[in-house]
Amino acid sequence: MKLTDKVAVVTGAASGMGKQIAILYAREGAKVVVSDLNIDGANQTVEEIKGAGGTAFAIQTNVADEADIQTLIDATVEKYGTVDILVNNAGIMDNFEPIGDIEDEKWDRVFAVNTKSVMRATRKVLPIFLAKQQGIIVNIASAGGLYGARAGAAYTASKHAVVGLTKNTAFMYAEQGIRCNAIAPGAVETNISSTMTNINQFGISRQQLGMAINPRTGSANEIAKVALFLGSDDSSFVNGTVVSADAGWSAY
């Protein structure tokens, strides 16, 4: 097993990519902290992990709340003694608004969940990683963090920021045994669309032009396999990299 005795924190792990990452990490020997705002869903993920013989516990976390981030990591250390891997997966969509239609409240909300939470969680685990000169961070970015028309302006900007934060963190701490990489999924079957409430028709009409060249939709399990690679020693020489997982969508 690739993650024997490692302690992994996975945010947004009640469903979708986060759930599959948590399950796969546990299957590979990690003790997993299943973090999500949806505590019922998080508990279900834990039940699946334990049912398969794995080790995990659930904790309710609003990643947009600094106090919740502090509690998440503190509870992990109290339960398992340390943190070895942090997977910043929690995220929300915008409503495909172009910049002319953005409202400040929506912009701030998207950045709080998608970007600020990544900074805060990474900042919180960093002293733990530095103390042992070892640690891995896997950020879930997006094809929208590499290109301009996979979502609206707020989501696109937030995920571009995650990519920049990933690269900066990787370089800054590369000599302290800390690795930080990101995954840029393309279209994946998850319930993130449930975070959209009032689709901007102009914005989505522009975005849909590129959907015509999307080879296919991926599964959350396919992204989990990439996260396993980045979270294990198999990727020991990979740092500051964004792995596109989009079936070739961005190759056009």
The yes-or-no verdict on residue 207 having pLDDT over 90 is no
- Catalytic residue numbers, as ranges: 155
Longest Cα–Cα distance in the chain: 51
Domains of the chain (ranges; CATH) run: 7-251 (3.40.50.720)
Rg (CA), the chain: 17
Q: Output b/e per residue, 180-208; b: 16+ Cβ within 10 A.
A: bbbbbbbbbebebeeebeebbeebbeebe
Residue 173 has pLDDT above 90, yes or no: yes
Is 90 exceeded by the pLDDT of residue 208? no
pTM of the model: 0.97
The answer to whether residue 51 scores a pLDDT higher than 80 is: yes
pLDDT tens digits, one per residue of 119-147: 999 999 999 999 999 999 999 999 999 99
- pLDDT tens, 71-108? 999 999 999 999 999 999 999 999 999 999 999 999 99
CA distance 184 to 74: 29
pLDDT at position 250, please? 93
